[in-house]
Structure 1
């Protein structure tokens, strides 16, 4: 009896070790998949604070919380089942969807660059075919703003989940589901936790600047107030650059999988030649050249998409929304 019990305990221990190793593997794969989605993640963190602009301080965190909850619903209730179904039933479609997501990232990044260089033209292009909205009560404006943020989050979340799914081909179905859920929840907590800190940083700085008991505390508050606009600007620039780089790399890889490998090979050849020219920094130089090449390609593709999306796609989407809203 005792021997049998000891054998059973040994089996349980072995199973626990296997399970722990599996959990570690899934967590590690989820972390790697999350890093693959860096461009969309940084953009999500850079975009979301704009949705609380114009509201009173007491409504900022509730708005962020509503958007975060909408993001969780997007990822876990809609995109996770869809991603798993595609992986199980139509894995061939993942690469085309990833390429489309890469095109979207290239367009978004290029549009931000265009908006920084030509703000008036970018505004006219973005709002082509759009009728001015009438001012409403604060509750209606908040609901509209939250709904718009969740729609934007859905697009970015779809790209994040697709990138993550493409980075998890070697896992089984259950492990893949757990890893994708970890990616979705982890990224949501990371992004909206950072957003909450960002939107309340000014309030913290003002509180310290006015009410801190020590000179160091008041100086820290003034520093936060001065630094936050620069932090937001830096975050926006980093997010834009990351979108263009990641999007360009995704599109290049997609083209190669469709038989158009020349652009990707050109960048690889340039990276290899740069590494040979500077052997002391070979790996670093090759990586930088690859990033630069992907970014230039992504910016060029995005620039070509700006008039197409602004003049054709966005007006068509708005017309469909109006028609759907009336029925």
Structure 2
């Protein structure tokens, strides 16, 4: 009896060691996606009324948890029964992410009047207390959750690749752990970023010249940080989406990786430019196809 108990404890300890090690490896591999996810989601909730910032972040966070609750079982099922389907699904997700990036650029630069009207509408909603701000923010939340689904899918897919061949319990534990860690990490940081201005205002009202100076500095820097995150978020769409497409073609992806490994810093920058370039081209093609489909549908 005692021997069986010790063996059970030893097996549990062994599994926990494997889970811990694989979780660390998966976290390192998905760290880049975490940065992109942070930039994109901070961008999505920017411009929201101050007292609605945290509710919006929480709404997107709940959507992200639902996304991962769908993706983790799906990943386990696909990895077990349809492993060949992982790459095509990632390719579709990458193309969609690139499409969204191109759509944002097109909407901003080619449809300036519409973009200005949308901005004005949101600003009026923020300023006018009689307007249902929640209804205005609904599209923003939907867009953020939709984008999160693509990035979450990449995180889960990378993690699945890390734990492939391991026992089912280990795979499940690592996938769930990474899903929770990434969600809490991203939306905890997003919540902190969007409340920077409140923190700055609080410090300006505290006694002491040092605290007040720091508060003023935060208030000056916060809008620039949000603008920078907005730009970084759009760039991240092309980097992540393009990276998925590049690695979806193994020969091309391996060639880019080999070149980047031998060229040092220039290789790293070059591989990022390749990913972004592929993402921009793919997004433009999908956007053109979508616009053509809309026109044909209108005529029909």
The TM-score with structure 2 as length reference comes to: 0.78
Cα distance in 2 for partners of 1:41, 1:319 equals 39
Pairing partner for 2:49 from 48, 52, 56: 56
State the SS of the aligned residue for 2:166. Answer: coil
Pairing partner for 2:90 from 98, 112, 135: 98
User: Are residues 1:298 and 2:246 paired?
Assistant: no
| Structure with the greater alpha carbon radius of gyration | 1
| Cα pair distance change 1:240/1:92, threshold 3 Å | same
Alpha-carbon shift at residue 35 of structure 1 (Å): 3.0
Match of 2:289 in 1: 312
Alpha-carbon shift at residue 317 of structure 1 (Å): 8.8
User: Are residues 1:207 and 2:197 paired?
Assistant: no
Alignment check: 8 A CA contact 1:63 1:146 kept = yes
Match of 1:325 in 2: none
Kindly tell me the number of residue pairs found equivalent between the two proteins: 286
Match of 1:184 in 2: 179
Cα distance in 1 for partners of 2:293, 2:108 equals 23
5+ residue gaps, structure 2, are: 116-120, 126-130
Alpha-carbon shift at residue 140 of structure 1 (Å): 1.7
| Cα pair distance change 1:145/1:263, threshold 3 Å | closer
Cα distance in 1 for partners of 2:24, 2:77 equals 22
Q: Which aligned pairs between 1:33-48 and structure 2 lie closer than 5 A?
A: 33-48=26-41
Alignment check: 8 A CA contact 2:243 2:279 kept = no
5+ residue gaps, structure 1, are: 127-131, 275-284, 321-327
Alpha-carbon shift at residue 246 of structure 1 (Å): 5.2
User: Are residues 1:65 and 2:58 paired?
Assistant: yes
Alignment check: 8 A CA contact 1:103 1:302 kept = yes
Alignment check: 8 A CA contact 1:37 1:163 kept = yes
Cα distance in 1 for partners of 2:216, 2:100 equals 34
The TM-score with structure 1 as length reference comes to: 0.73
